[in-house]
Structure 1
Amino acid sequence: MNQRVCNVLFLCTGNSARSIMAEALLNMLGEDRFRAFSAGSRPGGKVQPEAAELAQPLGYQERMRSKNWDQFAAAGAQEMDMVIAVCDNAAGESCPVWPGHPAVAHWGVPDPAAVDDSEDRRRRAFVSAFATLRRRVELLIALPLDKLDRLAAQGKLREIGEQ
């Protein structure tokens, strides 16, 4: 990897919470070194309100929307340097072939949108997911990417997912 901007795609099945929060975190905390995107295999069409609320201070904007991962695998799509699945479902799905052969990793995070027994528990689930993603994004930002080739970067990404 070199000093240019590193493109990172975060994947989740619905692209409505975890991948959206990860995108906002990396775009804000990664400053001009990273450009983050998010998508899903079966996007739900809307961003979870709790995810939008947590991402808002980080620059969440309406342009962050639930979208299909096909647009990132299509001919002529912007090449990604890294593709990171943040949910177990997307990690187990058959992914497209990504242009540019990016480093691929899995950072499983429990789905906060699946918590529906109380508003308080749901809120805590979103805050917990956000904190986990923030810690992992901070570890990603700290990597010396200009000194790592694709395979070494992929190994480091996978280690971060185990934290």
Structure 2
Amino acid sequence: MSEKKRLLFVCVENANRSQMAEAFARIHGGDAVEAISAGSRPSGVINPKALRFMAELGYDLGAHDSKSLDQITGEFDAVITMGCGDSCPWVPAKRREDWALPDPRHMDDDAYRAVRDEISARVQKLLASLR
């Protein structure tokens, strides 16, 4: 990637899926990516399961904040929404995708890990397509 790509990942609470996607964009994209996540109705906290299952991969989600889309400015190379439907406001982007991923908040450990791993695979595919 020649210039740094700006990516925004959005879900409702900014507590699970979008946080993990932001983390995977940083892991897989490194310095070539500026990754941000936000929620349409942020919970203000990151789900302890998200913290635990990202820690299994050596990533500390505790450094992230759960934030509102109202705090996000600028244009993005890609905006990825995850099941927030009509509550996702319009954000300027060259590309937008909706990843219809289930909210893992109440899933058991194995199902939560499956969603986490699916997010990782989708982020890698997204980054490859932006190169």
Same fold flag (TM > 0.5): yes
Question: Does residue 39 in structure 1 map to residue 43 in structure 2?
Answer: no
Q: Deviations over 1:110-152 (max 9, x none)?
A: 111033xxxxxx2112101101101111111222x35xxxxxx
TM-score scaled by length of structure 2: 0.88
Q: Percent identity?
A: 35
**Number of residue-to-residue matches in the alignment:** 130
Uncovered stretches (5+) of structure 2, i.e. residues with no partner: none
Larger radius of gyration: 1
Q: Is the 8 Å Cα contact of residues 14 and 66 (structure 2) preserved in structure 1?
A: yes
1:14 aligned residue: 13
Question: Does residue 106 in structure 1 map to residue 98 in structure 2?
Answer: yes
Q: Deviations over 1:30-71 (max 9, x none)?
A: 112211111100111110111112223453343312111111
Uncovered stretches (5+) of structure 1, i.e. residues with no partner: 116-121, 147-163
Q: Is the 8 Å Cα contact of residues 70 and 96 (structure 1) preserved in structure 2?
A: no
Structure 1 stretches of 4+ moved >4 Å: none
Q: Is the 8 Å Cα contact of residues 39 and 68 (structure 1) preserved in structure 2?
A: yes
Q: Using a 3 Å threshold, how does the CA distance of structure 1 residues 134 and 43 change in structure 2: closer, same or farther?
A: same
SS at match of 1:32: helix
Q: Is the 8 Å Cα contact of residues 39 and 69 (structure 2) preserved in structure 1?
A: yes
Greater mean alpha carbon deviation, residues 52-61 or residues 20-29: 52-61
Q: Is the 8 Å Cα contact of residues 16 and 46 (structure 2) preserved in structure 1?
A: yes
2:77 aligned residue: 81
Q: Deviations over 1:1-43 (max 9, x none)?
A: x721101000000110011111101111111221111110011
Higher RCO structure (Cα 8 Å, ≥6 apart)? 2
Question: Does residue 137 in structure 1 map to residue 130 in structure 2?
Answer: no
5 Å-filtered alignment, 1:23-102, equals 23-56=22-55, 57-72=57-72, 77-86=73-82, 88=83, 90=84, 92-99=85-92, 101-102=93-94
Q: Using a 3 Å threshold, how does the CA distance of structure 1 residues 48 and 140 change in structure 2: closer, same or farther?
A: same
Structure 2 counterpart of 1:112, one-letter code: P
Give me the CA root mean square deviation. 1.8
Q: Is the 8 Å Cα contact of residues 28 and 58 (structure 1) preserved in structure 2?
A: no
